[in-house]
């Protein structure tokens, strides 16, 4: 498989994602510009990544303007065909604004931009240490949507403590039901607030992100 | 003719508004009494060319629905002048 990483004006984790996938995980990566729309070099076995950052300055709402960029039109069509799409941080916000994933990301409950390591449980393991860096990461959806997400196994990551216990204290931003990441019903679109690409290099002291990118995408035997 | 259309976007009532909460803390530090709640939204002003006020409102309605407000977290009101 190969990866395409979309660069929006204001993306700032695109090169981190490229470095992680290419150099740490040995994957083929193509960088994509938001003003282009050609995804013909990708098959549905490939994955388009929407990286973190502040696309379009976070104007109006995080991810709201990016949704209408030419490349996003193609990404939405690609996802609807069954192609894999991963959104990290601002990418997750864009996926929610694009209606490829349900719900929305609200301003953190504690009024702070939070930049630190947290622990996750979900696809790839439990107690995975992964960095977060966001001001608007409080996942929210109505009760009916949340029940459907859980019933379909679409909650792919929750905030937990070091030992994998899902507790209120381990929830950094007030996300409803400790949700850190979800997938769509079909299991080909994934969104998460934490940054696995910042935790794949041994030289940086944390490789827990490898388990996430490997089990979610690279070595995913079956869709979720 | 050109109509001035305002779209007022507010966070849904049931949702915590941390920005409003922070401003309320500031107001209380100022020594102001009696402020029981603060919520912060946006006011979006547009100049819309349309034949009638209803047509201008319909255009604003579409803008609000598709981009200006997110119904998962916000509600909106439109007024035409």
d(CA B19, nearest CA chain A) in Å? 7
User: In DSSP terms, which residues pair with A202 in a beta bridge?
Assistant: none
Reply yes or no on whether A89 is catalytic. yes
Among partner residues A107, A110, A140, which is closest to B72 by beta-carbon distance? A140
Q: What is the pLDDT of residue A198?
A: 98
CA A194/CA A86 separation, integer angstroms: 12
Asked if B79 has any chain A CB less than 8 Å from its own CB, the reply is: no
Q: What is the pLDDT of residue A223?
A: 45
Asked if B70 has any chain A CB less than 8 Å from its own CB, the reply is: yes
Q: What is the pLDDT of residue B33?
A: 87
Q: What is the pLDDT of residue A221?
A: 55
Among partner residues B15, B21, B67, which is closest to A106 by beta-carbon distance? B15
Residue A107 per-residue DSSP state = P
d(CA A49, nearest CA chain B) in Å? 23
pLDDT at A18 over 50: yes
Asked if B19 has any chain A CB less than 8 Å from its own CB, the reply is: yes
- The 3-state DSSP class for residue A10 equals coil
- The 3-state DSSP class for residue A76 equals helix
CA A156/CA A95 separation, integer angstroms: 15
**Test the B interface: residue of A111, A143, A175 with most B CBs within 10 Å:** A111
At residue B19, what are phi and psi to the nearest 5 degrees?
-65, -45
pLDDT tens readout for residues A93-136: 999 999 999 999 999 999 899 999 999 999 999 999 999 999 99
pLDDT at B49 over 80: yes
At residue A5, what are phi and psi to the nearest 5 degrees?
-110, 120
Q: Which residues of B touch A142 (CB under 8 A)?
A: 72
Q: What is the pLDDT of residue A86?
A: 98
Q: How many other C-beta atoms can be found within 10 angstroms of the C-beta atom of residue A161?
A: 14
Task: Map out the domains of chain B as residue ranges.
Answer: 2-80
pLDDT at A32 over 90: yes
To the question of domain B2-80 being in CATH 3.40.640.10, the answer is no
pLDDT at A222 over 50: no
Strands (E), B1-73: 2-11, 42-49
Band (pLDDT 50/70/90 cuts) for residue A174 is very high
pLDDT tens readout for residues A205-215: 999 999 999 99
Reply yes or no on whether A99 is catalytic. no
Asked if A68 has any chain B CB less than 8 Å from its own CB, the reply is: yes
ipTM: 0.85
| Interchain contact, A60 vs B68, CB within 8 Å | yes
- The 3-state DSSP class for residue A140 equals strand
User: Mean pLDDT throughout A19-24?
Assistant: 96
Percent of chain A at pLDDT exceeding 90: 96
Fold entry, domain A2-219: Rossmann fold (3.40.50)
Q: Which residues of B touch A113 (CB under 8 A)?
A: none
Q: Which residues of B touch A109 (CB under 8 A)?
A: 16, 18
- Torsion, Cα A50 A54 A55 A57, to 10 degrees, reads 170
- CB distance A107 to A135 below 8 Å: yes
User: Mean pLDDT throughout A148-166?
Assistant: 97
User: Mean pLDDT throughout B3-24?
Assistant: 95
| Interchain contact, A109 vs B18, CB within 8 Å | yes
Percent of chain B at pLDDT exceeding 70: 100
Q: What is the pLDDT of residue A219?
A: 83
Task: Map out the domains of chain A as residue ranges.
Answer: 2-219
**Mean pLDDT of chain A, nearest integer:** 96
Band (pLDDT 50/70/90 cuts) for residue B81 is confident
Q: How many other C-beta atoms can be found within 10 angstroms of the C-beta atom of residue A54?
A: 18
User: Mean pLDDT throughout A210-224?
Assistant: 79
Q: Which residues of A touch B73 (CB under 8 A)?
A: 104, 106, 140
Q: In what order do the strands lie in the sheet with B42-49?
A: B42-49, B2-11, B74-80
């Amino acid at each position: 498989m190969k990866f395409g990483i979309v660069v929006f004006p204001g993306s700032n984790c695109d090169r981190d994602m490229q470095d992680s996938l290419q150099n740490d995980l040995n994957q083929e990566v193509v960088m994509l510009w938001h003003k282009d729309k050609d995804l013909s070099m990708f098959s549905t076995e490939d994955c388009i990544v929407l990286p973190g950052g502040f696309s379009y300055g976070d104007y109006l709402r995080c991810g709201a303007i990016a949704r209408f960029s030419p490349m996003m039109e193609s990404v939405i069509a690609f996802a609807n065909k069954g192609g894999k799409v991963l959104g990290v941080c601002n990418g997750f916000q864009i996926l929610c604004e694009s209606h490829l994933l349900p719900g929305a990301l609200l301003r953190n409950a504690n009024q702070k931009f939070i930049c630190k390591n947290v622990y996750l449980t979900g696809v790839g393991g439990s107690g995975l240490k992964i960095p977060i860096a966001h001001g608007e990461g409080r996942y929210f959806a109505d009760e009916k949507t949340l029940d459907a997400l859980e019933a379909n196994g679409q909650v792919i990551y929750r905030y937990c403590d070091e030992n994998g216990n899902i507790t209120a204290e381990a929830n950094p931003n007030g996300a409803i039901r400790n949700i850190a990441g979800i997938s769509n019903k079909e299991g080909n679109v994934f969104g998460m607030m934490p940054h696995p690409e910042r935790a794949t290099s041994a030289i940086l002291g944390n490789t827990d992100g490898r388990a996430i990118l490997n089990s979610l995408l690279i070595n995913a035997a079956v869709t979720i | 003719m050109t109509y001035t259309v305002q779209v007022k976007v507010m966070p849904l009532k049931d949702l915590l508004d941390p920005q409003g909460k922070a401003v309320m803390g500031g107001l209380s530090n100022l020594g102001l009494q009696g402020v029981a709640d603060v919520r912060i939204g946006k006011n979006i002003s547009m100049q819309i060319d349309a034949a009638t006020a209803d047509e201008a409102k319909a255009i604003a309605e579409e803008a609000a629905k598709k981009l200006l407000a997110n119904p998962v977290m916000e509600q909106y009101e439109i007024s035409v002048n």
